[in-house]
Each structure stands twice: as C-alpha cells, then as structure tokens.
Amino acid sequence: MAETATVRETEDVRRRQLIQATIESLADVGFAACTLGEVAKRAGVSPGLFAHYFGDKDGLLEATLRSMAARLGRSAAARLRAARDARGRIQAVIDANLAPEEFDRRTSSVWLAFWGQVIHSGRFKRVQNVYQRRMLSNLRHALKQIVPAQEAETIAIATSALIDGLWLRATLSGDFELESVRARAIVTTFVDMQLEPAGRSNPPASPTSSANPGMGSHLGGTLAGAARPRTFVTINPASGESLGEVEIAGEEEVERAVAAARAGQAVWGAMTGAERGRILRRVADLLRARNDELARLESLDTGKPIQETSVVDVLSGADCIDYFAGLAATLTGEHVDLGPSAFGYTRREPLGIVAGIGAWNYPLQIACWKAAPALACGNAMIFKPAELTPLTAVKLAEIMREAGVPDGVFNVVQGFAETGRLLTRHPAIAKVSLTGEVGTGKKVMADAAQTLKHVTLELGGKSPLIVFEDADLDDAVSGALLGNFYSAGEVCSNGTRVFVHRAVHGVFMQKLIARVSKMKVGDPLDPATQVGALISEEHMNKVLGFIERGKAEGARVAIGGHRVTDGPLARGFFVAPTVFEACSDDMAIVRDEIFGPVMAVLPFDEEDEVVGRANDTPFGLAAGVFTRDLARGHRVIARLQAGTCWINHYNLTPIELPFGGVKQSGLGRENGKAAIEHYTELKSVYVNLGRVEAPY
Ligand code: NDP
C-alpha cells in the first residue's frame, strides 16, 4: 500500500514538473513554438514521457490549462471563505482574478496563449467555460443578496467583462503600468458605483478591508487575507507618513503557510539541482530588471539613501540567488570505498521546510540571502520580515512566482515576534535562520530546541577596526566611514570601535572630521543624499540616548552628536554622523551595539594591547585591520575573535565568502559554499555486495 502511495506521489510530482515546464515554455516562446521537444528539453526528460502522462501535446496543454484554472479557483475559494459578507465575496472574486500573481506579464501571456486557441479547440473551450461560469456564478450569487436578481445578473456580467477587459488590455499592450492594485481599484469603484445609488454598497467589509492589497502575507503563491483582521501600519521613517496597513499572520495563516510549503517542497525537492538552478537564475534576472522599483520601495520602507539601495540592496540579493543557482547543480554526496564487498555513499538531502526571520536593516537582501541557499538545496521557505519593513519580501515572493518557482516554495508571513515564534516552535519546520539581536537569537534558539531544529543565527556586533601607524590613512578613513555611516550605521558588521595607533591619531582625526563634515544627510530619495533616516522614532531615541550617555561618561563629540531637523527632515528620524574621541573601553558607547551613525575612536600603542582590547567583548561578528605590513595584517587577523574580517578594507561582503559571527554574534554561516551545510542533511548509505554473515 505504502509503496503504491509513494509511486502515485512521485508520478504526481513528475506530472506537476512537466506542467510547470510547459507554462515556462509558453511564457518564453508562445503557443506555436511550444512543442513537446521544447518542453522536454526544459524539463530534462525524454519526449516519450509525455505520452505516458498526457497522451499527446493537446493532452499536455489541456492539463496545463486545467492546472492554471485550478490554481485561480483555489485562490478565489480561499478569499471567498475569508469574506464576511456579500460585498466581501464580490471583492474576493475581483481580488483573486486580478491578483498580482495573475496580473503579471509572464502569467498573462500564458493565459492569452490559451485563450487564443479556445475558438478552435473544444478541449480548451470546456476548461474556459468552467472558469467563466464559476466567476459569473460567484459574482451573481453574492450580488443577489444585495440587489434584485435581474440587476445582479447585469452587474455580474459587466464586472466579469471589466475584469477580462482590463487583463486583456494590459496583456496585449504589454503595459503592466496598469498594475494589479490599480486594476482592482478600477473594478472595485465600478461595483461600488453600481451598488451605491440605492445605498446598497457596503464596501470592503471583508477581513482584508483596511489592509493594503499587495502588502500582506504571501502563502502558496497567492496573497492571503488573515482570518482575524489585525493589522499594523508601516511607515516611511523619512517623513513619518504611513506607507500602508499590513495584516498580521496568526496561527491559521502560519498553518496555511506550512501546508503550502509542504506541498511546494514535494515538487521543488523532486526537481534536479539543474532545474532548480535554472528557475532561480530567472529570479535573479527579474530582481535586476526591477532594481529601480525595488530600490525605491526599500528606501521608502527603511529610510536608506537611494544611492545605496539602487546599487547594493537588490543587486546583492540577486547576486546571492545567482550564486546559489549555480551551486544547485553541483550538490553531491560522495562515494566511500569499503573494500571488495561493500561500498558506501552519501546523499545530500534537503531539510524540508525552513523558516527565515529577518531584521529591518537590509530587508530584501536578508530575504534573498536566506532563500537562495535554502531553495537551491531543495527546501521550501517561510519568511517573516521584520514588522518595520514588510514590503519587499512580498515583492520577492511575486518575483519567485513569476520566474516559475512552484507555489508554496517561498512564502511570506507578516507580523511581529509572535508570528516569528509560531514559526520557531512549529514541529513541521526543520530549521530556522534568524537575523536579529543577540537577545532574540537566544529566545529563538530556546524555542527551536523544543523540536530540535537546526538554527543559523546572524546576530549583533561591536566590531573593532584597527589602524596601524603604517596604514594608508586616506584608505583607513574610507574604511572607517564605510564601516560606520553606511545605512546610517544600521549595519551589524560595523567597525564602531576604531582603534588608531597613537602616532597617527591626530592626522587620522583631522582627515576623518574633514570628510564627515561634507557628508550629506537628507531625503533618502534624493540621489545626492549619503545618510538617510533611522528606521523608527523609537530607534532614533535609543541612538540619541547613547550619544547623551557618551557625553555624560566623558567622551568628546568631535563632530555630529545631534538629531537633524532641517526643514522637512524634522518629520523624519535623522541623526547626524557622529564621531566620539577621548573614549575609554568601559563606556557604554564602546561596549554596546548602538546600530546608528556613532563611531568611537580609541588610541592604542602596542599590537598585543590592541588585540586584547579588540577581543574584550562578548561579540565576535567582524573585524578589520589597516596596515601596509601584510605579515602583520595576517598575524593580527588570525588572533582576532571574529567570523568575518577585512585587511585594508571594511564591510565588503561578496557572496562567495561565508558571512557570520563567533561568540555571541551568531552560529552558522550565510553565503559561500559553507551555507550548503546549513540547509542539507547527509544521508549515509552502506551497500553490501557480498553475503550477510551472522553468528546465529
Ligand atoms: P530583532 O532581534 O529585534 O528582530 C529580528 C527579527 O526577529 C524580527 O523579524 C523580529 O520580529 C523577530 N523576532 C523578535 N523576537 C522574536 C522571537 N522571540 N521569536 C521569533 N522571532 C522574533 O532585530 P532587529 O530587527 O531590531 O535588527 C537589528 C539587529 O539585527 C541588530 O542587533 C543587528 O546587529 C542584527 N543584525 C545582524 C546581522 C548579521 O548578519 N549578523 C545583519 C543585520 C542585522 P519584529 O521585528 O516584527 O518584532
């Protein structure tokens, strides 16, 4: 029995893979060129296999169309279930049919390829009729509870025609400027206008009513409304204005995410590494193609300057996905010689469902850094962004889908720590990878221990940057600036304790202050701005509190040391780049992670002394050394207790190099080949070639 079920499961997975390859082929080359040979090549199988599963090309295409219609049907059904009244059910139909995942260039072109054939093919016509009838009857049924039957019929036909018309216009013109949000708003307005004259409109009473479409959780390939409508507002830290309202995922949504991830992982994990790599490469390409739009969104959500987000945040995420896409096909076990009558081998297998929990400083980059190795290894991921920066992870989910990542393989749940805890305690989740504070890391590890999950922890730091007397001081100042003021200092690996040899301390300070005084604090969307806003008012107050404490403890402010409130900046959370001198190692500004634009400069005399002081911290994330004496550079780096180090540079994090901390700065590594170890299990297999001898 179990064997039959396994065979059925495998066949099911295979069938879905072939359908996925057909969808990709239709999107890339269109109906006429989508031959069995072309699809077989993409799927890496022989064309003969299609006969086994689908009969012929028409059978394959019909199955593909059915699968797309079923997905849309499921998405509409979930929204209909969540709706609270008749008006909510009308909205559910509109939202499902014009959801971002249906209303994108790629998916739309596949639908259009089919609709073009409907006139000539009875098989396609049948599927299309079912789809059309279902949309009409859902609308009609809901409308009949608001208006008389005759009128309900007319409004239902007009609404479905408007949905089809908007979709067709965008698809034919290739103009997706008219994006999903606007298309839904147009149809919603139309419906309200029909219902309003008699005061019958009772708009959006559904749970998704106050939340902004496109910002919520993304489960199993679709945006999902929460069962209990609790929301939070995400704000632009540069202006204090609301960017939108986001629904919190509770227990029910996490369960749905787990179910979706389980189904998605079965398909994804059964693909070859090469197949996964091909799809992930498309994710990277789409991220790059949408760099400007995503960078802008990231700047709005985080307050970081557009001059940073447009060259780092999205692109570093894309680089990471590209890198692991390349590695996916190379994942192998090993053969072990055990003599003439036996051998062993190892299989590198995915863990299953993994959770990613992100911090707010690099929201999209963190989502990519976690998703890339997880997905390359065949896992499914449920990602929870920090509640302060919920926007771009949802975009990543949309892009994954557009690139052909199967539904359920990358899910996003929105919310606070409580939502994170639902993930870290969930028995079906095999691993959790967190980027966050040390305290959060300890809680996550304790929660994960209940079900013995694997954990990767990327935590905080208070890293040393050491400038020896023979260093190129201009380069060393550049390193100190990069290591303290990039992203307004909200970078975990920052070298906030800058140890400068006493012989060059004066010159170093002069050069440093001259350059800091020219830094431009301003509107993050202004390309000239170099220092943007801090993430929130609460965080700004924490940073300003540290600055006051530094002054009170006797450190001297060499530059900065205050909030910036010039003109419109008064509405946001800006702090001037700040340099403290005359610091001592026991001050709070030298001991604690501030996570803001605050640098402490500390003189030193001897190599041994500075190594001891640099290591005298519970953290161990990063460290840097500036010296022209490379022997000294390597010698000192070898003695520093840090996971990520630089010689004559600071804060560069190429994807090829593992990244992570020692001591209380974390466990495990992201990036580089090392990450593969954290997202796979090794299975050892002993193969006997001889007789089985037993002493019984
Ligand atoms: P937090 O630790 O406050 O939060 C990190 C994430 O964990 C958030 O999504 C948060 O949700 C969630 N969370 C909080 N408590 C729990 C819990 N008990 N169980 C599960 N999830 C939980 O960090 P910040 O977002 O404030 O980020 C700043 C910190 O991140 C700094 O210490 C910084 O050094 C570190 N960091 C480390 C990096 C590294 O690679 N080593 C890189 C970047 C940042 P919510 O926010 O919604 O409450």
- pLDDT tens, position by position, 393-418: 999 999 999 999 999 999 999 999 99
Per the model's pLDDT, the better-predicted residue between 444 and 117 turns out to be 444
- Over residues 545-592, the pLDDT tens digits come to 999 999 999 999 999 999 999 999 999 999 999 999 999 999 999 999
Q: 429, 435, 594: which to mutate for ligand 1, most atoms within 8 A of CB?
A: 435
- 21-71 pLDDT, tens per residue? 888 888 888 888 888 888 888 888 887 887 888 888 888 888 888 888 888
- Spacing, Cα 417 to ligand 1 middle (Å): 9
195 backbone dihedrals φ, ψ, rounded to 5°: -90, -20
pLDDT at 529 over 70: yes
Confidence of residue 199 (pLDDT cuts 50, 70, 90): low
Alpha helices in 200-334 (DSSP H): 251-270, 273-289, 291-302, 306-308, 314-328
pLDDT in tens, 215-256: 889 998 888 877 777 899 999 999 999 998 999 999 999 999
The minimum-distance atom of ligand 1 relative to the CA of 359 is 25
Atom 23 of ligand 1: nearest residue by CA position: 436
User: Which among 504, 538, 269 is positioned nearest to 409, based on CA atoms?
Assistant: 269
Q: State which of 369, 437, 490 you would mutate to test the pocket of ligand 1, scoring each by most atoms of that ligand within 8 A of its C-beta.
A: 437
Q: What gap in Å lies between CA 375 and CA 324, rounded to an integer?
A: 9
List the residue whose alpha carbon is closest to atom 40 of ligand 1: 458
Which residues form the catalytic set?
A: 370, 458, 492, 670
Mean pLDDT of 171-189: 74
* Alpha carbon 618 to its chain's center: 29
What is the value of pTM for the model shown? 0.75
The answer for residues whose C-beta is within 8 angstroms of residue 203's C-beta and 6 or more apart is: 87, 91, 188, 192, 209
Q: Is pLDDT at 200 greater than 60 in this prediction?
A: no
Q: Which atom of ligand 1 is nearest to the CA of 666?
A: 41
Closest CA to 584 of 605, 600, 562, 608: 600
Atom of ligand 1 nearest to the CA of 670: 40
How far is ligand 1, taken at its centre, from the CA of residue 638, in Å? 29
Q: Are 335 and 345 in contact (CB under 8 A)?
A: yes
> Residue 366 Cα, ligand 1 centroid: separation in angstroms?
11
Mean pLDDT of the chain: 91
Atom from ligand 1 closest to the CA of residue 384: 9
Residues with Cβ within 6 A of ligand 1?
357-361, 384, 386-387, 416-417, 420-421, 424, 434-437, 440, 443-444, 458-461, 492, 593, 595, 621, 661, 666
According to the model, what pLDDT value does residue 332 have? 96
DSSP E strand stretches across 87-128: none
Pocket test for ligand 1, best of 414, 426, 440 (most atoms within 8 A of CB): 440
The Å distance, Cα 421 to ligand 1 centre, comes to: 12
Nearest CA to ligand 1 atom 28: 436
Return the closest-CA partner of residue 287 out of 367, 379, 395: 395
* d(CA 352, ligand 1 centre) in Å: 23
Of 232, 302, 450, 492, which is best to mutate to test ligand 1, by the most ligand atoms within 8 angstroms of its C-beta? 492
Q: What are φ and ψ of residue 359, in 5° steps? A: -90, 175
H helix or E strand, kind and range, residue 544: helix 537-552
The per-residue pLDDT for range 257-300, each reduced to its tens digit, is 999 999 999 999 999 999 999 999 999 999 999 999 999 999 99
Best CA proximity match to 58, nearest among 114, 112, 119: 114
Using the mean position of ligand 1's atoms as its centre, give its distance from the Cα of residue 50 in Å.
Answer: 48
Q: From the CA of 415, how far away is ligand 1's center (Å)? A: 12
